[in-house]
């Protein structure tokens, strides 16, 4: 398995690791298969701009790297821009991930969406294109991903 230099860098020197107290939105997601857990905290101001983002990840190196770069990608963005920080955006920003590690970047996308969902619930607003995260669907998706990867 070959990791890009960027993945190694973000794994060895993770940016924005930690937590935000009283965050506007917190999202926790897990992958049932590998057991990795990712938590993303967002601070969102009254104009709907992500002022700060932090993460805590108990998981593989790729999960640490993707969650770290995801927090950098959403910082300073509007909510709609943050919605576009998808797993492919994260993977691209890291100069690619090995195929068996793509599900790790999916976790980052899900964690951002879960944090935005949390924010929308606390605020009582709707975010265009955002649906309630469902744990069942997540674990199902991941099983599917990993089953394919394992072959």
Q: Of the two residues 79 and 113, which places its CB atom closer to ligand FES in the complex?
A: 113
Tokens 């057991």 correspond to 35
CB of 122 to ligand FES, least distance (A): 27
- Which pair of tokens denotes residue 91? 């993977």
Our finding on whether 62 is near ligand FES (CB under 6 A) is: yes
Q: Of the two residues 42 and 63, which places its CB atom closer to ligand FES in the complex?
A: 63
Our finding on whether 63 is near ligand FES (CB under 6 A) is: yes
DSSP assignment letter at 13: S
34 is catalytic: yes
60 is catalytic: no
- Which pair of tokens denotes residue 31? 């992958």
Our finding on whether 114 is near ligand FES (CB under 6 A) is: no
Q: What is the dihedral of CA 35, 40, 41, 45, to 10 degrees?
A: -150
Our finding on whether 97 is near ligand FES (CB under 6 A) is: no
Our finding on whether 34 is near ligand FES (CB under 6 A) is: yes
Distance CA 150, CA 38 (A): 22
Distance CA 40, CA 26 (A): 6
Q: Of the two residues 14 and 79, which places its CB atom closer to ligand FES in the complex?
A: 14
Q: Of the two residues 52 and 149, which places its CB atom closer to ligand FES in the complex?
A: 149
Distance CA 135, CA 12 (A): 30
C-beta neighbour count of 132 within 10 angstroms: 9
CB of 59 to ligand FES, least distance (A): 5
Catalytic residues: 34, 104
């Amino acid at each position: 398995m070959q990791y890009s230099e960027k993945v190694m860098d973000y794994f060895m020197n993770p940016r924005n690791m930690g937590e935000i107290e009283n965050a506007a939105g917190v999202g926790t997601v897990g992958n049932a298969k590998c057991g990795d857990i990712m938590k993303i905290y967002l601070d969102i101001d009254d104009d709907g701009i992500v002022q700060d983002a932090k993460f805590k990840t108990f998981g593989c190196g790729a999960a640490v790297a993707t969650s770290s770069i995801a927090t950098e990608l959403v910082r300073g963005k509007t909510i709609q821009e943050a919605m576009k920080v998808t797993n492919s955006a994260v993977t691209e920003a890291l100069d690619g991930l090995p195929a068996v590690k793509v599900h790790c970047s999916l976790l980052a996308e899900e964690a951002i969406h879960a944090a935005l969902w949390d924010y929308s619930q606390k605020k009582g607003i709707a975010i265009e294109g955002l649906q309630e995260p469902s744990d069942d669907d997540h674990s199902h998706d991941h099983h599917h991903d990993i089953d394919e990867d394992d072959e």
